[in-house]
Amino acid sequence: MTQQNGTPIVELEAVTKLYHQGALEVPALRELTLAVEKGEFTAICGPSGSGKTTMLNLIGALDTPTSGRILLEGRDLGPLSRRELSHLRRDRIGFVFQAYNLMPVLTAYENAETVLALQGVDESERRERVMELLADVGLEGMEHRRPDELSGGQQQRVAIARAIASNPAVVLADEPTANVDSETAEKLLDIMQKLNRERGVTFIFSTHDPRVMNRAGRVVRVVDGRVEQDEARSGPDD
């Protein structure tokens, strides 16, 4: 999707993240700077240990940088309290994990509506939004099934619906195609590209998957905690 002018959705400004292993300090990110605009479909790639997942955890306010700043919609995450960060994650960030992270006792519908329920959205509005989303991701008629009654690909579709139900500023997808077969991966990418194109959902992927990189409008390669390459690409629909 074409980038838009204005304040970036996500900004990392000279971000360093150090982890402690005994007496050693191990850098996961080294003064990394990156901006992602609204409506991008961006893949963060690189070898294992390059810092991809660390980047997503920092953007998603699941961790804090050792130094540097992270901004979401122009808002610096650094000064925010735990409560404010929790509300930010709930309201402005969608997460899609490779392990799906669905609640096993809840139906597809109940999993997808979780964030909206936490936000206090009226039940009738929740139902309308969730049913529309489940249809968008190809799960119409499966809303009453629990995760153990769904295939891996169907579970990931529920996770995608849950991630975008609250109309977040950005969806962070950590290796979302890692645990599904090739055909299912392509279908999931079709769904996410459609949501990006038709709803303007901003996606940032952490991935090793060439299929994700081939679909991305932008590929950022991270090596040893630094941006080695930042390439804009034309997607298949451009």
**69-79 tens-digit pLDDT:** 999 999 999 99
Domains and CATH numbers, the chain: 38-64+81-232 (3.40.50.300)
Look up residue 221 and give its DSSP letter: E
Give long-range contacts, CB 8 A cutoff, 24+ apart: 198-202.
199/164, 200/1, 200/38, 200/39, 201/94, 201/164, 201/168, 201/171, 202/9, 202/36, 202/37, 202/38, 202/39, 202/40, 202/41, 202/169, 202/170, 202/171
Q: What CA–CA distance (Å, rounded) separates 172 from 180?
A: 18
pLDDT of residue 237 exceeding 60, the answer is no
Asked if 163 contacts 94 with a C-beta cutoff of 8 angstroms, the reply is yes
Q: What CA–CA distance (Å, rounded) separates 158 from 153?
A: 9
Specify the pTM: 0.90
| Residue 184 CA neighbour count, 13 Å, CB half | 14
Residue 152 phi/psi, 5-degree rounding, is -60, -45
pLDDT of residue 226 exceeding 80, the answer is yes
**Confidence bin at 234 (pLDDT 50/70/90):** low
In this predicted structure, what is the pLDDT of residue 124?
94
In this predicted structure, what is the pLDDT of residue 235?
52
Q: What CA–CA distance (Å, rounded) separates 202 from 171?
A: 6
